[in-house]
Amino acid sequence: MPLLTLDWLQSDDIVATAVRTVLVYAFALALVRLGSKRFLSQASAFDVIVAIMLGSIMSRAVQGAESFGPSLVSGAVLVAVHWLLAALTARLDWFGPLVKGRRTLLVQDGRIDHEAMRRSGVSERDLEQAIRLQAGETEPSRVRQAHLERDGSISVVAAREPVVLDVEVRDGVQTVRVKLE
């Protein structure tokens, strides 16, 4: 009969701790799988806060510091609220920036916006590294755009060279057709 009441889970013995750990692990894994794939990707501050809070809540259940059932309910409510806010940010254009922030333009057509970099806390070396890794370039002048994204990463779009499609000379006039991307 004592196994059915789950009161034994609140004890400090090693078996109860091991069972709590397995149960909380399975429950947290189910929550994360149901809640959002973003927990495991490059997450925004919005996602990181939820992950930290979920870890804190679940650790209390594992340690027996809080009642087992209410700790699991708290974790489920937290993930449900995160899912609801994520759904709203996906459907309401004005809501996303409130919760997740905005991206910041750092480079436009080879020109660095030093004020935007200063406000965002991005150094020249950070920008150079992103340009090297993503565009294979070493010069910001060869970048069409670079943004500091909401998740803290820097995305880079390299400037493309024009492609010569056709060169024709007729009546002493040279015509060059190029493709700009």
Provide the pLDDT for residue 68: 85
List phi, psi (to 5°) of 162. -65, 145
Provide the pLDDT for residue 39: 57
In one letter, which amino acid is 140?
A: P
Structure confidence at residue 29 as a pLDDT band (50, 70, 90): confident
Question: Measured between alpha carbons, how far is 86 from 97 in angstroms, rounded to an integer?
Answer: 11
Domain segments of the chain as ranges: 2-97, 102-158
Provide the pLDDT for residue 3: 46
Task: State pTM to two decimals.
Answer: 0.65
CATH number for the domain whose boundaries are 102-158: 3.30.240.20
pLDDT at 52 over 80: yes
Provide the pLDDT for residue 8: 61
pLDDT at 180 over 70: no
- pLDDT tens digits along 74-132: 999 998 998 898 889 889 999 988 888 889 999 999 999 999 999 999 999 999 999 99
Question: Measured between alpha carbons, how far is 145 from 117 in angstroms, rounded to an integer?
Answer: 13
pLDDT at 138 over 90: no
pLDDT at 1 over 70: no
Of residues 127 and 168, which shows the higher confidence score? 127
